[in-house]
Structures are given as C-alpha cells and as structure tokens.
Structure 1
Amino acid sequence: MGIDTFKVRSAADFSRFLTKEPRFFYLYIQMKCDPTLSTYLNNCLYFTANSLARTVGRMAEEAFGDTGISPAHAFLMMLVNERPGLTQKELTQVLQLAPSTVTRFVDSLQRKGLVVRELEGKLSRVSPTDAGLQLKGPIAKAWKSLYRRYSEILGEEEGKHLTAMVSKANRTLEEGG
C-alpha cells in the first residue's frame, strides 16, 4: 500500500499507516527531526502545487457529488451549455487538456446522455442534450458551494488573490517553457 492509497482520517489511522509502511515512518521521523527536509518540501513549487491541487480536488469532488459528474466534466458541460456546437479542438484549447482527455470526457458525458456529437466532415461538434442543459443549475450551485467552502477557510480576498497568483504563475511558466 502506498502513501497515495491510504487515507489518514485520525491519529490512529496515521499510527497504523506508519506501522504498515516503515519507510514512511522513517521519512516522518526524519522530517520531524530534520526541519530542513520539511522546509524543502514546503518551499518546493512542484510539491506545494500538487498538494494544493489534491486538497482543492477533494473539496470539489464533495461539492459536485450531487451533480453526478466530476468537476472536470462540469467545466466541459458549462462550455457546451453556453456555446452548443463547440468543436472538440476548441474544447481542448479552452480547457487546456490533451485531445485524448477531451475525447474521454465527451465519451463519458455522451454515455450519460448529457451531450451529443455532431459530425461535420472531420469536425466533431459537441452540444448538450436536454438532460445536459438541466445540469446548469446544479453545476452553478456546486461551484458556489466550493467557492464558499474555500473562502470560509482562506478568506474570500485571500482566495481571490491566491487564484490570481496561481493563474498568473501558470501563464508565465507556460509562456517560458
């Protein structure tokens, strides 16, 4: 069992985890005894960005539980609900995802009866079904719920500031990479 698959919900869980995973127990003790390692991880953009993504991802999954789709699928649904007939290429560009990922998302939403594909030669246009359009309200409610939750924890202004900083850093790194 790896660290990624073990959910620690309490001190007892953590103790059991460390007992079953001695290499992580060693790392935990090393980090407690050597603040340099902990400082290094907490000052590493890669580590902190991924940790933040996992934390916000869990919050988003909870907020979207009642919609029946994931937060990532909800972004695609929002786009096709607002602009029916978007091509998969346009979705790929706007969502900044690989074409194969967008294809999987569309396939999944199509199986659920939320979108349809319309072929125009080599172009594949995606539009919502009536069931997909009915998700507009629940998706908006889920986003508001997620926003409220992290705003209550971080503070609304801090949440806005963090979002702006992460977005700017992402654009800068994309342009420079």
Structure 2
Amino acid sequence: MKTSGSRFGKCLYFTSNALARKVEKLAQECWKPLGLSPSHAYLLMAVLEEPGLQPTQLAGELQLQPSTITRLIEKLEEQKLVQRTTEGKLTNVYPTPKAKQLFPKMQACQQDFYTRYVAIVGQDISTQLVQDMSQVADKL
C-alpha cells in the first residue's frame, strides 16, 4: 500500500496510521520467536532495565493508557515474567528470574527489528524519522 500517491498521502492521520500498521506487522514478526507482542516486550525490557518501575512511570515511558499498562502487566504476571509489589499506595513492577534469562533473546529480537527496518528504509532516513516522530509526538 503506497500512501504518497493516494488521495490522503499528505494527511498526517492517514500516513501515520499506515506507517504504524506496517511497523506493527514487522515488529510482531521480530518478537514472535519469544511469544511476546511488541508492547509486552517493550514493557518487560523497561522493567528489566529499571526494576521497580511503577505502572504510571511505565505508562508515561511507553505512552500508553494506565489501563493498557495494567492489562500488559497482568499478562506478563500470568507468564511469570513480572511480579508486582505494593507498599501503601505504591505499586512496583519487578522482573522475575525467568524474565532475566530472556533478556539476551529480547535484545536479539530488538536488534533484528532494527536491522530489518534499516535495511528497508536506510540508516539516515530511519534515524531522522525516529527523531522527527519523537519531536512531533512530544508537541502533540
């Protein structure tokens, strides 16, 4: 599906959603060997890199709604990859030993994803695109 020549090719909404669908498909292919969706994987990687994160921190970092974060955490708990602890009103999320063992494979999946999209669009374009999209997301 080409967007540049379509009726809506200059529309941010249409173009960003078309890109998101294609990126999602590629990401799912890369994370499939671990049986994790990209959203589950990135949440778990955040918790592995900084154990004890609170769900609100994860929501901000991953730019997802708190209810979505809760569902992702619940699924990862079912898979015995994270555990929550509660102290008063604070909830913290920690990786399990099983998750820690997965970390090198997760890094390999992340690298595979990066390698694949850079091979398609090129290093310079991918770097600039990520920077530009981050700036636009921050402004919106």
Q: Same fold (TM over 0.5)?
A: yes
Structure 1 segment 46-85 matched on structure 2, within 5 A? 46-85=13-52
Q: Cα distance, 1:64 vs. partner? A: 0.4
Structure 1 segment 35-114 matched on structure 2, within 5 A? 38=6, 40-114=7-81
TM-score w.r.t. the length of structure 1 is 0.74
The 2-side partners of 1:76 and 1:137 are apart by 15
Instruction: Please give the secondary structure, in 2, of the residue aligned with 1:135.
Output: helix
Q: Cα distance, 1:130 vs. partner? A: 0.6
The 1-side partners of 2:60 and 2:137 are apart by 15
Unmatched runs of 5 consecutive residues or more in structure 1: 1-7, 9-34
Is residue 123 of structure 1 aligned with residue 93 of structure 2? no
Q: Cα distance, 1:135 vs. partner? A: 1.7
C-alpha root-mean-square deviation of aligned residues, in Å?
1.4
TM-score w.r.t. the length of structure 2 is 0.93
Instruction: Please give the secondary structure, in 1, of the residue aligned with 2:19.
Output: helix
Is residue 135 of structure 1 aligned with residue 102 of structure 2? yes
The 2-side partners of 1:86 and 1:165 are apart by 27
% same residue: 40
Instruction: Please give the secondary structure, in 2, of the residue aligned with 1:63.
Output: helix
- Report the equivalent of 1:172: 139
| Structure 1 residue runs of 4 or more that deviate by more than 6 Å after TM superposition | none
Unmatched runs of 5 consecutive residues or more in structure 2: none
Instruction: Please give the secondary structure, in 1, of the residue aligned with 2:64.
Output: coil
- Report the equivalent of 1:11: none
**Alpha-carbon displacement from aligned partner over 1:29-59 (angstroms, at most 9, x marks no partner):** xxxxxx7xx2x31111000000000000000
Is residue 151 of structure 1 aligned with residue 89 of structure 2? no
Instruction: Please give the secondary structure, in 1, of the residue aligned with 2:42.
Output: helix
Higher relative contact order (CA 8 A, sep 6+): 2
Q: Number of aligned pairs?
A: 137
Letter in 1 for 2:119: E
Q: Cα distance, 1:150 vs. partner? A: 0.8
Name the one with the larger helix percent.
1
Letter in 1 for 2:137: N
Which one has the largest radius of gyration?
A: 1
- Report the equivalent of 1:15: none
